[in-house]
Amino acid sequence: MQTIHINVDDSKMDILLNIVKNLKDDVVKSYSISTMEDAFYDERKKRLMTLREDIKSGKEPMVDFENSVDELIEELQA
């Protein structure tokens, strides 16, 4: 399955919704409408893509969750 994000002017939203509703039932699995803009979406996306590449390349080390929790518990008990 794939996702498409489409920015539509408010005045044209009814046209787009009409098109989506008239597609065959098996074409669109679901859709949602959001009127709020996410001002930081592009920044977060860029940071996550960079972090992903850093993890893949080994530049950013992975942390073992179990060991980290154990270390935290030991530190809190000290």
Mean pLDDT over 37-56 rounds to 87
> pTM value?
0.40
Does a structural domain hold residue 73?
yes
Per-residue pLDDT, 39: 73
Query: Where in the sequence is the domain holding 62, given as residue range(s)?
Result: 10-77
On whether the CB atoms of residues 6 and 16 are closer than 8 A, the answer is yes
* In-domain check, residue 5: no
Does the pLDDT value for residue 11 go beyond 80? yes
For the chain, give the mean pLDDT. 86
Give the pLDDT mean for 52-78: 91
Residue 56 inside a domain? The answer is yes
Q: How many domains does the chain have?
A: 1
Q: What local confidence, expressed as pLDDT, does residue 5 receive?
A: 81
53 has a pLDDT exceeding 90: yes
Contact 43, 15 (CB under 8 A): no
Query: Angle at CA 48, nearest 5°, toward 44 and 49?
Result: 120
List, as one string, the DSSP characters of 32-48: ----S--TTHHHHHHHH
The answer as to whether 3 is a domain residue is no
Residue 1 in any domain: the answer is no
**What's residue 15's pLDDT?**
92
Q: Which two tokens stand for residue 14?
A: 């009814």
> What is the gyration radius of the CA atoms in the chain, in angstroms?
22
